[in-house]
Amino acid sequence: MRIAFYAPMKPPDAATPSGDRRMARLLIDALTRAGHDVSLASRLRSWSSDPDRHAALRAAAQQEAERFLESGARPDLWFTYHLYYKAPDWIGPAVSAALGIPYIVAEASHAPKRAAGPWAQSHADAESAIRQAAAICTINPLDGACVLPLLDDPVRLRPLPPFLEHEPFDRVRAQARAELLRTTGFDGDHPVALTVAMMRRGDKRESYRVLAAALMEARAGGGAVDLAVIGDGEARRDIERDFAPLGASVRFLGARQPDDMPALLAGGDLFLWPAVKEAYGMAMLEAQAAGLPVIAGESGGVSSIVEPGLTGLLTPEGDVSAFAAAIVALVDDEARRQAMGRRASAKIARDHTIGAAAARLDDILNSVTRREAA
């Protein structure tokens, strides 16, 4: 099929890295791997934290839709990734209706509490797009509860587990440990944990705060662990101050390229992230692909990718003491860490590879076109 792809939250070729950019690229790769011809329909970013900006963005989107229709392009299907009230899709529904083609969305969320107030119009626009979609692929399973009532047929809600390119993680394990110790300067006397997250203010900042406090409590309880932090951003200085009492047991490695991640992660012993208000967390998928058990806060869709007691441990969101206790439990039990890591790697290889996603997306697209043709 010829597929027009659009990501209103952030275009896949945006300069600034993020989880949204990563997933948009992975979706394009998966659709292409399934044999489809994918083209980027628009780079217009409809996301805004200011509802007053959406009137201008809506007008720009209408012009984008007109431009697309005037171009003579004739896709078989429109595919939009990640829409919600702060990032509505005003282009895909209009083009799909004009051309009479199916409209599919991956990762749509619906917030009924936004039906009134300053976000009311954008909320209504996002709801209208969801109602029009022939299929909604839910990457975060928690989105389904509010989206399902908008659909006239529950079969239109289709699960799509988060996924990644698994092969690079398999290739690097042999030499990864020595390289990680060289990079961090750790002596290897303690287990080495990693965390990977952008250093933004808000929920990311709060997750880092919980992590620093939990590490200090774990150390007091006998859980000695070194931590390599991968990430950067405007809150870095504040975050470094949070971790300062831990001294040389924490090393900040800055932002790294995606190609660097398999080797860095594969050299560690476990992955730590409190996941305050996390959707699901691509970094936790990568950590498990690298064979690391994950300790995370149980928020959003995290439990859909980390199996408690099997591939890691989940603790109540924001609970410093529970997170510290989980660290101590795994730091003190190497055999358990290794068993969890093996199960984590196997789970990702089985359920969360780009190949599995390609097959699932192809099935969704084909079922939609068959239903539309009937």
Across 236-240, 289-293, 301-305, least confident range: 301-305
Q: How high is the pLDDT of residue 177?
A: 83
What pTM was computed for the model?
A: 0.72
To the nearest whole percent, how much of the chain has pLDDT over 90? Answer: 77
Which residues 6+ apart lie within 8 Å of 116 measured at CB?
none
Q: How high is the pLDDT of residue 48?
A: 95
Q: What is the pLDDT of residues 86-96, one digit of tens each?
A: 999 999 999 99
**Which pLDDT band holds residue 68 (cuts at 50, 70, 90)?**
very high
Q: Are 228 and 251 in contact (CB under 8 A)?
A: yes
Domains of the chain: 2-163+353-373 (3.40.50.2000), 167-351 (3.40.50.2000)
- For residue 293, count CB atoms less than 10 angstroms from its CB and return exposed for 0-12, middle for 13-18, buried for 19 or more: buried
Residue 367 predicted with pLDDT over 70: yes
Q: How high is the pLDDT of residue 170?
A: 59
Structure tokens at 258: 């995606």
Q: How high is the pLDDT of residue 219?
A: 92
CA distance 130 to 146: 11
Q: How high is the pLDDT of residue 120?
A: 95
Q: How high is the pLDDT of residue 282?
A: 87
Q: What is the pLDDT of residues 109-163, one digit of tens each?
A: 999 999 999 999 999 999 999 999 999 999 988 898 899 999 999 999 999 988 8
Phi-psi region of 309 (alpha: psi -120 to 50; beta: other; left: phi over 0): left
Q: How high is the pLDDT of residue 173?
A: 63
To the nearest whole percent, how much of the chain has pLDDT over 70? Answer: 97
Would you tell me the crossing angle of helices 203-220 and 236-243 to the nearest 10 degrees? Answer: 10
**Which pLDDT band holds residue 18 (cuts at 50, 70, 90)?**
confident
CA distance 123 to 144: 16
Rounded to the nearest integer, the mean pLDDT of the chain is 93
Q: What is the pLDDT of residues 147-156, one digit of tens each?
A: 999 999 999 9
Q: Are 314 and 124 in contact (CB under 8 A)?
A: no
Across 65-69, 122-126, 171-175, 206-210, least confident range: 171-175
Q: How high is the pLDDT of residue 17?
A: 85
253 C-beta neighbours (distance < 10 Å), count: 17
Q: How high is the pLDDT of residue 221?
A: 87
